[in-house]
Structure 1
């Protein structure tokens, strides 16, 4: 992933902008980064909540030339205390992947927007686990809330219901694509 991050995912950003019919590469970058964040958070949050295992994403690869990701070797750790899990997940996903992604972008996108995308993606990962496994809803809520209080994710949104509904404090710019609309968690819904 290091070379993809250093290259700013330029191919994926351009392909995303084209797919959504916009010439604004920052919109393509935002949507691509949100998708990437979801692909990182979902399996990690799912594995830790359902199996008590944290997958090791340090050797993560991009599958071919699209957005899919793969782990060439399955490795990881048993989950420790809540504090240890939260710190490890934040370091692995945000510092290890999403911040390098942001640093490599060739187009200017506000860092708050990108952290907001990461916050939205982790909330959605927790919501998906809680929806599929209602007995894990309390654990999912605790994990998501702890992550939303860390580093760049802090202040980018909050859970608004026991079903892990989320409201952002930033916007992903999706409403700016042709036929786009405001997302369900968008900060602009009340404006």
Structure 2
């Protein structure tokens, strides 16, 4: 059940949630979330083994043996893949996909949702912050319970906040008419649970300054990201 204790009257049909996800996938990139009706035979959910393989690929790509770098960068990418479709469905279609059956779509980082279902969001939109956060950051935290390397909890929370605001900024560029409710919901989400205190929005384009670092600057030839706390 989506956080907030709402009943079956708030459920949406599989057809409706699939249509919403197909629509927001047109925004591109991390907004794409495929669906499959029913659990895929032989496939796991967001398994620790799948995440460990992603983190290892990151380390190989950037030529670093520091395990926590691969974990952090892979975690940031996963956060973006969770936040983007959830946020877009909530703002564009007024529904939240229930993400407890999200799973790896193959050997890469893409995801899909098995047995898709969803719930309607509350109005005003900020009242849905807990429900939206549960279906993105809540899923992310369950993955974090079995990471292959130790990473500071505030770094992980900062990654989630960074992915949230990055997804919101991309949605704003694609759908500028959503500025009001999008800004309202993003602000409410940054005050929800562990995201509180992770950073602040710094401009009308939803630029962001986080209070932790994702560690990308530590890869050979790496640099700071646009929202990094290390930027002066």
TM-score (normalised: structure 1): 0.93
Distance verdict in 2 for CA 1:145–1:108, change over 3 Å: same
| Alignment match, 1:23 | 65
1:2 positional shift: 4.9
Query: Higher Cα Rg: structure 1 or 2?
Result: 2
Structure 1: runs of 5 or more not aligned = none
Distance verdict in 2 for CA 1:128–1:3, change over 3 Å: closer
Distance in 2, Cα, partners of 1:25 & 1:117: 16
| Alignment match, 1:128 | 170
C-alpha RMSD of matched pairs (Å)? 1.5
Paired residue for 1:145, among 174, 181, 187?
Answer: 187
1:73 positional shift: 2.9
1:51 positional shift: 1.1
Distance in 2, Cα, partners of 1:12 & 1:30: 11
Distance verdict in 2 for CA 1:157–1:20, change over 3 Å: same
Which ranges of 4 or more aligned residues in structure 1 deviate by more than 3 Å?
none
Paired residue for 1:11, among 22, 37, 53?
Answer: 53
Distance in 1, Cα, partners of 2:50 & 2:97: 25
| Alignment match, 2:39 | none
Distance in 2, Cα, partners of 1:64 & 1:31: 19
**Are the equivalent residues in 2 in contact too, given 1:8–1:101 (CA < 8 A)?**
no
TM-score (normalised: structure 2): 0.77
Could you say what secondary structure the match of 1:70 adopts?
A: strand
Could you say what secondary structure the match of 2:186 adopts?
A: helix
Distance in 2, Cα, partners of 1:89 & 1:48: 8
1:3 positional shift: 5.9
Matches within 5 A, 1:88-99: 88-95=131-138, 97-99=139-141
1:74 positional shift: 2.9
Distance in 1, Cα, partners of 2:174 & 2:77: 21
Paired residue for 2:206, among 164, 169, 188?
Answer: 164
Distance verdict in 2 for CA 1:48–1:3, change over 3 Å: closer
